């Protein structure tokens, strides 16, 4: 301990001298001065990011690479490291950078703090279902505080990709299919991570990723080609990135995919023209893991040298794990294939973020062992995770008000591998969480009620340990547990079945071609249904699933995602009615996988068709066009009645506005929250227009019998889109306004936008 304190004093002294050497009062002057002292190699070094020596989130070079990396660190050839966590580890590497390199420039340490560092909150798709923007911001704040206490100063989050295909495993990591909601949430998460003062020791730099169109992989297969038109890019993909930027995000990550034939990592259009040009972004762009080198298999770069040239010229400032900038940039500059001014610009951007974080003043500011001990996993943080988890749950069906259950006097049979699984609820991006630390549903039900609970697994969903690096070993054959579960279910008052995906079945590299309940779970559900129909189906999953059979047969269905550390407690609070569920889906749930991609703001064809029986219409012969559960959908234990919608006028121009109002009454017996959603349809435009688009929402809480008026102001910004003129503008004509409890709302009122 004593020696740690001594080291700390020494390093603060070094850092202090460093900052006094340079005129520290002005960022530009400081960075100019520093850059003027740097060799070309040292500047290139700032642009190099290595994985740490403990765990990896992508493919690493062959064994034995560590020694070279330590050499590179000492030679100032590393600007950042990822996957180095914990004060001790961060401190040790930062010390090399600060004390052993020629200029002592501190490293920036990045990690995927996606939904929590050690205290895990719900997967981001789950959090988005809360539509509670303050809670989402708070969740990012807690994550940042824990990460910063562990020595980190940069998270690779939020993922702000918009997506529409549940086959893609990474749908768990974003805010769903809608651009408007996605933009609001992107800004909230950035504010949560970065706080109001980035130089504070409890805030960390955020990273908007993956720029761009990573959420549109063909057939939902991860990393696959994205082929989307310019207008989808501008109207659907770009806005959440822009919102993150407007909220002050310090870094961007580019993406693995090609976008309209060009790898995003090598795209000048995305990085130079849009991001750094039109949008004026002055932070830095990090490549995705190895994505510079991956331009070779893409068939875009001939070799590593060519890949580095393409990437830097396109505007990728930092190379995550391709190791191509350190090996190639020096010669590329010498040969005149890369202008040195681009290296200066990239290094300046990276140094600028380090400056904003306050790392030059104190490179060890995130390395406080006491803080690490007190902040990480604190009771307060666990309570915040519990609050977020409750808010993320969506009630999909509740026939005969089977839920909430009585807390006493009930015989409950609890079935399902996931009901007693303390690992899966942590989800795929579980930061530094210890394995097997989530509260199970079994534990939650026991803690919050006094019922007699019989647990029977029913079937193994998977075997063995699961982890980030391998596929989940699913059980497809062994049904020996069915018998015991059926006996246990037969005489129960109610059967609670917890089914879904193991925590590592969704996430990066976890694409699926089927969306049913994995393994033997569907069969188990149908078998149990034969002996007891009073079933509460609790789903744990990272993506929309095909629930068509369950929806037809099972009376009550609760969508709980992967809810994080407090999962079982949150689920029990909802099951027993301590918390009235208020979540609403942010992704449409298809009726079967063949409907994917499916989303609410689609465009009608010229032959829309009303039913599957009509042949020459745009309908399927075997299933309806509509989703099973639409975007924005979710029930409550109470009922909300919507009055007729009123518009303040039937005309507006671009300078004034119209208000749309509606009364909502809680006509049930429970206090509850409702997400009131406002959609607008533009009837015709210079481009074909979507059937409707979310343009506002409000989360309200009502006591039984209470009525509230909700008013939305509609101004020109609600009617604007990226038109055929390549401009953000509105177009005169007819618009309709819809206000309701989900995107399927039909009642509407119209107005005209005039000149």
Nearer to ligand BGC among residue 207 and residue 753 (C-beta): 207
Q: Which of residues 503-522 bind ligand BGC (CB under 6 A)?
A: 508
Q: How far is the CB of 597 from ligand BGC (least distance, A)?
A: 20
Q: How far is the CB of 294 from ligand BGC (least distance, A)?
A: 10
Tokens 């943080």 belong to which residue? 381
Q: How far is the CB of 49 from ligand BGC (least distance, A)?
A: 10
For residue 280, count other CB atoms closer than 10 A to its CB. Answer: 8
Nearer to ligand BGC among residue 160 and residue 333 (C-beta): 160
Q: Are 568 and 439 in contact (CB under 8 A)?
A: yes
Distance of CA 366 to the CA centre of its chain: 25
Nearer to ligand BGC among residue 82 and residue 660 (C-beta): 82
- Which ranges in 565-605 belong to alpha helices (H)? 567-575
Q: How far is the CB of 587 from ligand BGC (least distance, A)?
A: 19
Task: Pick the closest to residue 539 from 385, 419, 404 (CA basis).
Answer: 419
Nearer to ligand BGC among residue 173 and residue 573 (C-beta): 173
Does 319 help bind ligand BGC (rule: CB under 6 A)?
no
Nearer to ligand BGC among residue 264 and residue 557 (C-beta): 264
Active site residue 288: yes
Nearer to ligand BGC among residue 150 and residue 439 (C-beta): 150
Q: Which of residues 55-84 bind ligand BGC (CB under 6 A)?
A: 57-58, 82
Task: Pick the closest to residue 279 from 267, 289, 270 (CA basis).
Answer: 270
Does 115 help bind ligand BGC (rule: CB under 6 A)?
no
Q: How far is the CB of 117 from ligand BGC (least distance, A)?
A: 14
Task: Pick the closest to residue 642 from 746, 751, 739 (CA basis).
Answer: 739
Strands in 226-290 per DSSP E: 251-254, 258-259, 262-263, 284-286
Nearer to ligand BGC among residue 11 and residue 265 (C-beta): 265
Binding mask 454-493 for ligand BGC (x = CB under 6 A): ----------------------------------------
CA distance 406 to 408: 6
CA distance 321 to 289: 6
DSSP code, position 91: H
CA angle 125, 547, 445 (to 5 degrees): 70
Q: How far is the CB of 254 from ligand BGC (least distance, A)?
A: 10
Nearer to ligand BGC among residue 508 and residue 731 (C-beta): 508
Q: Are 133 and 388 in contact (CB under 8 A)?
A: no
CA distance 503 to 579: 24
CA distance 97 to 78: 8
Q: How far is the CB of 112 from ligand BGC (least distance, A)?
A: 5
CA distance 528 to 489: 7
Does 692 help bind ligand BGC (rule: CB under 6 A)?
no
Nearer to ligand BGC among residue 215 and residue 544 (C-beta): 215
Task: Pick the closest to residue 554 from 408, 391, 415 (CA basis).
Answer: 415
Does 289 help bind ligand BGC (rule: CB under 6 A)?
yes
Q: How far is the CB of 83 from ligand BGC (least distance, A)?
A: 7
Binding mask 360-399 for ligand BGC (x = CB under 6 A): ----------------------------------------
CA angle 200, 206, 212 (to 5 degrees): 165
Write down the catalytic residue from 112, 132, 165, 288. 288
Q: How far is the CB of 208 from ligand BGC (least distance, A)?
A: 11
Nearer to ligand BGC among residue 31 and residue 144 (C-beta): 144
DSSP-derived 3-state class of residue 422? coil
For residue 533, count other CB atoms closer than 10 A to its CB. Answer: 11
Nearer to ligand BGC among residue 235 and residue 287 (C-beta): 287
Return the HEC string of 443-488: HHHHHHCCCEEEEECCCCCEECCCCCCCCCEECCCCCCCHHHHHHH
For 5, 454, 541, the CA distances from 416, given in Å and listed in that order, are: 51, 12, 13
Does 323 help bind ligand BGC (rule: CB under 6 A)?
no
Q: How far is the CB of 288 from ligand BGC (least distance, A)?
A: 5
Strands 658-666 and 646-647: antiparallel
Handedness of CA 287, 293, 294, 296 (dihedral sign): positive
Q: Which residues of 550-577 are buried (b: 16+ CB within 10 A; e: fewer)?
A: bbeebbbbbbbbbbbbbbbbbbbbbbbb
Q: How far is the CB of 263 from ligand BGC (least distance, A)?
A: 14
CA distance 212 to 270: 7
Does 156 help bind ligand BGC (rule: CB under 6 A)?
yes
- By CB under 6 A, name the one of 115, 141, 209, 486 that touches ligand BGC: 209
Does 112 help bind ligand BGC (rule: CB under 6 A)?
yes
Q: Which residues are tagged catalytic?
A: 288
Contacts to ligand BGC by CB under 6 A: 57-58, 82, 112, 156, 209, 288-289, 508
């Amino acid at each position: 301990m004593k020696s740690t304190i001594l080291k700390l004093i020494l390093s603060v002294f070094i850092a202090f001298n460093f900052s006094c050497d340079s005129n520290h009062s002005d960022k530009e002057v400081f960075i100019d001065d520093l850059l003027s002292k740097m060799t070309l190699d040292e500047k290139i070094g700032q642009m190099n990011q290595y994985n740490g020596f403990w765990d990896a989130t992508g493919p690493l070079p062959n064994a034995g690479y560590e020694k070279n990396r330590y050499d590179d660190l000492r030679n100032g050839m590393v600007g950042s490291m990822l996957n180095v966590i914990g004060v001790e580890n961060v401190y040790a590497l930062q010390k090399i950078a600060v004390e052993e390199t020629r200029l002592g420039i501190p490293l920036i340490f990045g990690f995927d703090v996606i939904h929590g560092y050690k205290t895990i909150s719900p997967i981001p798709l789950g959090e988005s279902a809360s539509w509670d923007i303050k809670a989402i911001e708070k969740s990012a704040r807690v994550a940042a505080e824990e990460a910063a206490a562990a020595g980190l100063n940069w998270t690779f989050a939020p993922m702000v990709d918009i997506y529409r295909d549940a086959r893609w495993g990474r749908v768990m990591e974003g805010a769903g299919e809608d651009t408007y909601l996605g933009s609001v949430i992107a800004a909230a998460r950035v504010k949560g991570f970065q706080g109001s003062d980035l130089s504070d020791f409890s805030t960390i730099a955020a990273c908007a990723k993956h720029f761009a169109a990573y959420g549109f992989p063909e057939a939902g297969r991860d990393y696959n080609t994205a082929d989307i038109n310019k207008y989808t890019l501008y109207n659907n993909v770009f806005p959440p990135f822009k919102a993150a930027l407007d909220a002050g995000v310090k870094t961007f990550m580019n993406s693995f995919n090609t976008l309209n034939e060009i790898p995003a990592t090598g795209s000048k259009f995305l990085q130079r023209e849009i991001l750094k040009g039109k949008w004026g972004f002055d932070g830095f762009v990090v490549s995705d893991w190895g994505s510079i080198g991956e331009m070779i298999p893409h068939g875009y770069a001939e070799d590593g040298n060519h890949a580095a040239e393409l990437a830097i010229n396109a505007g990728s400032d930092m190379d995550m794990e391709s190791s191509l900038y350190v090996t190639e940039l020096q010669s590329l500059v010498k040969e005149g294939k890369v202008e040195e001014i681009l290296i200066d610009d990239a290094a300046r951007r990276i140094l600028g973020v380090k400056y904003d974080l306050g790392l030059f003043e104190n490179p060890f500011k995130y390395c406080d062992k006491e803080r690490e001990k007190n902040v990480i996993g604190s009771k307060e943080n666990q309570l915040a995770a519990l609050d977020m988890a409750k808010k993320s749950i969506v009630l999909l069906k509740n026939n005969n008000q089977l839920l909430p259950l009585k807390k006493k006097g009930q015989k409950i049979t609890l079935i399902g591998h996931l009901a007693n699984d303390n690992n899966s609820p942590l989800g795929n991006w579980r930061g530094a969480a210890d394995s097997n630390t989530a509260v199970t549903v079994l534990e939650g039900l026991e803690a919050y009620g006094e019922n007699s609970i019989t647990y029977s697994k029913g079937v193994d969903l998977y075997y063995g340990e699961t982890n980030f690096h391998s596929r989940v070993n699913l059980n497809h054959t062994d049904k020996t547990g069915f018998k015991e579960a059926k006996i246990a279910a037969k005489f129960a008052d109610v059967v609670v079945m917890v089914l879904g995906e193991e925590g590592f079945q969704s996430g990066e590299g976890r694409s699926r071609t089927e969306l049913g309940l994995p393994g033997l779970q569907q069969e188990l559900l149908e078998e149990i249904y034969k002996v007891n129909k009073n079933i509460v189906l609790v789903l744990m999953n990272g993506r929309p699933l095909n629930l068509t059979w369950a929806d037809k047969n099972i009376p009550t269905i609760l969508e709980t995602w992967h809810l994080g550390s407090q999962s079982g407690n949150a689920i029990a609070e909802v099951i027993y009615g301590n918390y009235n569920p208020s979540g609403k889906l942010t992704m449409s749930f298809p009726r079967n996988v063949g409907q994917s991609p499916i989303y609410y703001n689609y465009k009608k064809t010229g032959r829309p068709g009303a039913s599957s029986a009509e042949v020459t219409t745009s309908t399927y012969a075997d299933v309806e066009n509509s989703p099973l559960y639409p975007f924005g959908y979710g029930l409550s234990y109470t009922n909300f009645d919507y009055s007729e919608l009123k518009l303040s006028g039937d005309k507006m121009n671009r300078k004034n506005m119209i208000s749309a109002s509606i009364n909502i009454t809680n006509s049930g017996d429970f206090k509850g929250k409702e997400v009131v959603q406002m959609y607008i349809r533009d009837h015709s435009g210079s481009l074909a227009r979507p059937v409707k688009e979310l343009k506002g929402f409000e989360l309200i809480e009502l006591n039984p019998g209470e009525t509230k008026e909700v008013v939305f102001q509609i101004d020109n910004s609600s009617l604007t889109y990226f038109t055929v003129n390549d401009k953000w503008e509105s177009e005169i004509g007819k618009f309709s306004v819809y206000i309701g409890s989900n995107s399927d709302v039909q009642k509407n009122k119209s107005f005209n936008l005039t000149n």
